[in-house]
Structure 1
């Protein structure tokens, strides 16, 4: 994944409702039209989605700037982004 160069889908996170025990695929490349989830648009980009299973049901804030150090969750990296 070292050749993955993601593009920011947005400069703020998005609130989503997750279901405990369900597996999700977070878009790492930033090209998905189903942000923040993968739709297969990463093909040929060198990026792969991040698979994760929700630990609990409820609202979660997922990253869309693609700079988080805690993928797929927002860690505030968008506040430090220099565009």
Structure 2
């Protein structure tokens, strides 16, 4: 696969992961607020902790977010600049 095709495949995978309202909300919230923990996201989304955690795992597996442990809490942030640019283009 040439570089261009590889880039398209990579971008398509990112778009597939983002193609869910809860994940879009999580990513947009992290861009706006910086680091957040699951408890904060849960209260903003009005979703159960297990649901938020499942969506975060998909975002983490795709390389979109990363977690930083602080005691018992894990604080998540966006790690992919391409995703930040994409989200800003979608929701300006």
Shared fold (TM-score greater than 0.5)? Answer: no
Larger helix share, 1 or 2: 2
**Bigger relative CO (Cα 8 Å, ≥ 6 apart):** 1
Q: TM-score under structure 2 normalisation?
A: 0.29
Which protein shows a greater Rg?
2
Larger strand share, 1 or 2: 1
